[in-house]
Amino acid sequence: MARLDNRVSVLAALDLPAGDGPGRGGTHRGPRGYEIWESALRQAEFYATYAEMLETRRRLRRGEEWVRETYPDQDWVGPATLASSYLLAAQHAALVDARWATRLAVRAGTAYVAAGLPFGLFLLTGLLDDRTLDAGAVLGDLVEPFREPDASDALRHPVQLTYLLLAAASRPWLRDPLRQTVSGAEQWLTAHSLHPIGAQGVPIGQYLELANAMRYDEETAAARGDDGPVRDIAGRLAGLYRTQAAGLRTAQRNRYLWRQGASTVSIIDLEQVAISGLALRHRQWYRRLSAAITAELDRGDDLAQLSVWAMASIDTELTTIAPSVTDIMREPDRAWRTEDFREPDIAVVDPWHEIGGDGGHG
Residues that bind another protein (CB under 8 A): 21-25, 39, 42-50, 52-53, 66-67, 70-71, 74, 76-77, 80-81, 83-85, 87-88, 112, 117, 119, 153-154, 157, 159-160, 195-201, 243-244, 246-247, 250-251, 253-257, 259-262, 264-265, 271, 339, 342-343, 345
Q: Roughly how many angstroms between the first and final C-alpha of the chain, as a whole number?
A: 32
Alpha carbons 81 and 79: distance in angstroms, whole number: 5
Could you tell me the smallest distance in angstroms from the CB atom of residue 232 to another protein?
A: 25
Could you tell me the smallest distance in angstroms from the CB atom of residue 117 to another protein?
A: 7
**Residues near 273 by beta carbon (within 8 Å), at least 6 away in sequence:** 94, 126, 127, 307, 310, 311, 314
Kindly list the distances between the CA atom of residue 191 and the CA atoms of 12, 196, 317, in Å, as whole numbers in the listed order.
42, 13, 40
Nearer to another protein, 257 or 318 (CB): 257
Could you tell me the smallest distance in angstroms from the CB atom of residue 265 to another protein?
A: 5
133 CB-contact burial (10 Å; exposed 0-12 / middle 13-18 / buried 19+): buried
In the chain, the amino acid numbered 100 is W
Nearer to another protein, 27 or 183 (CB): 27
Could you tell me the smallest distance in angstroms from the CB atom of residue 65 to another protein?
A: 8
Nearer to another protein, 119 or 285 (CB): 119
**Residues near 258 by beta carbon (within 8 Å), at least 6 away in sequence:** 16, 251, 252
Could you tell me the smallest distance in angstroms from the CB atom of residue 346 to another protein?
A: 10
Alpha carbons 131 and 248: distance in angstroms, whole number: 34
